[in-house]
Structure 1
Amino acid sequence: MLLTSIKYLLFATLFTSFDCKLINNVLYKQISHRFDGILLTISELVGRIEALETREGEKKSGICGPCGNHNTDVGTSVKGYGLKEEFVILMRAFVAEKENLRNSVELMEHNMETKMSVCIETVTELKQKISQLENEKADNKRVSTVEKTLNSVQSSANHLRSRTELIESRITEIQDSSSKIESRLGDVETNVSTVMETMKRKVSFTAQFRIESSSSMQLTKNRIIPFNHVFYNDGDGFDVTSGVFTVPISGVYMFIFFVESFQPNESNTCLGAFVKLYVDGIYAKMSAIADPNYQQHIQAGNSYINYFTKGQRVLIQTAEKCQTSYVGDFRTTFSGLLLY
């Protein structure tokens, strides 16, 4: 399209230049034709002046003969005027023709200047348009270069996009793996927290019944065995003064108790020692019986596992079956442990 426009403008420029030249040629032809007419007129005037001068010379020299006829012809040719008057008429005609020629030349010059000015303006405009189109062509070349650059950038962008998608896919895989790892870490953290909480909830104790004066003590029925020596009391649940364990933290506990008995009387018909485990004053259906023969030491024990809530009271107490029980020291113990 641009090349077509440039070709068209070039053709218009050439046509305008040709048109200007054609106008000049026409004007020059008209002027030449006018000059030819003026020269012809001048030639005729010069011929007539030479004829008049010849006749005037003949007249002065007094040549006779055919003078009368000749004078008659001359008179006829000048229509009754004299030679001087005819010469004046010819000079006036020459001056008039000269003035007409000058006016024609001035008019021609004016028309020629106007036409040339229009032609020059037209040519200038066409040159400007050609320059503009050439600039547009250069711009089109730059646009083409920019388009090639953009295509290259687009190709790079597509390649980068594919690389980005691959990286995003890898990142998604890593995130999935991270989520799984985080989930496992969460489980581990939960387990660790549970262990830590369990470690914080460590509760255990061991207490022993001791007698300083003798090896056994006669205790009446329904009496709490006074475990007066404490080996270990983590959590401070066992009260050495009362012999009662108060649950400090809810959970599953295991309690173990032993009782030793000694039979000093051969005639004693009741059991040596009969003890029971109570929870909040209620018999837990868990007991131990040590029934020795005369002058004999016997130890008996039992264990109990159950869920206990905070604040419950656990103790070992003599049974109501016998009025008295012979409870030996050192081997009569009470232990408890929080399992979980």
Structure 2
Amino acid sequence: MKAVVHSEQGTADVLRLTDLDLGEPAAGEVRLRIAVSGVNPTDWKARSGLYGEGDIPVSVPNQDGAGIVDAVGPDVEGLSVGDRVWVTLAAHERPASGTAQEYTVVPAGRVFPLPEGAGFDLGASTGVPGITAHRALTVGEDLPTRIAPGAFDGKVVLVAGGAGAVGHAAIQLARWAGATVVTTVSGPPKSDYAKAAGAHHVVNYRDDDAAEQIRGFAPGGVDLIVEVAAGRNSALDLAVLKPRGTIAIYANDGDAPFAPNVRQNMGLNARYQFVLLYSVGWDKLTAAAEDLNAAIAAGALPVGEAAGLPLHYYSLDQAAEAHRAVECGATGKVLLKIAEL
């Protein structure tokens, strides 16, 4: 089978297309035939050595994907050959199991049914961004731990970076759950994408009166902030957060220093929660996947230009180009089209 691999860390140039033997699923595992592989920032960061340098085994990149169950190992329940599914964290602690290949073998617990009517593009776009958004939305002290219609009635959520993949999912999930959704972006093109995703209000974070604009939509302050640039947005966040509000941080785009004002945070009784899926625990990941599937089935998580998340397609032999696109900040979702299933 065809697969993209790398045996060293570095730029996207370390990725190469090769042939690998077809793996067989062991107990508790399934083999998937991958139709579409999703590329996330975590994928190029792992490939580049940003998470730690050193010797690595031959690795297949990309955590997310969608396709069809091709084989089932012993002791697997709830999945059958031919099922349409999506997978996430495929390569976590399993370097050869990434989705940038025609087939991959993964633990069954990382595989979820693709709701009827949902395409493989949507499935491959769901995993890391969707679960990150779900986790960020459900860590508040006074907020629900599950997402469903009505769960966020009366709440105000601020999504920083509403045109990104996580921001896009956070807008959609928060709106589906009944929240008033405010988002910040850098300019008009991204503003259009955030509105298409469902944001009620969009603010340019570069405006001098950004905090006043947000307070105009939420006079009492926002209940929760989904934060992509903790250092850059720290002052703005504290200016609009309500007492006992939560700031969920899943990235620090721009790498501006993050130095919280202790006195101001104490005055607000502010709550910070850092979000990284690899150590969250599979109970929470599975719960998030269940809520995401409910939202997909309800038509609440569409992707594509009209839904505010443009899709950018590459072939398997263009994996390096796809990684470069994500690394350079492509707006939208980058996908590898591997097979027509």
Q: What's the TM-score once normalised by structure 1's chain length? A: 0.18
Instruction: Work out which of the two has the higher radius of gyration on C-alpha atoms and give 1 or 2.
Output: 1
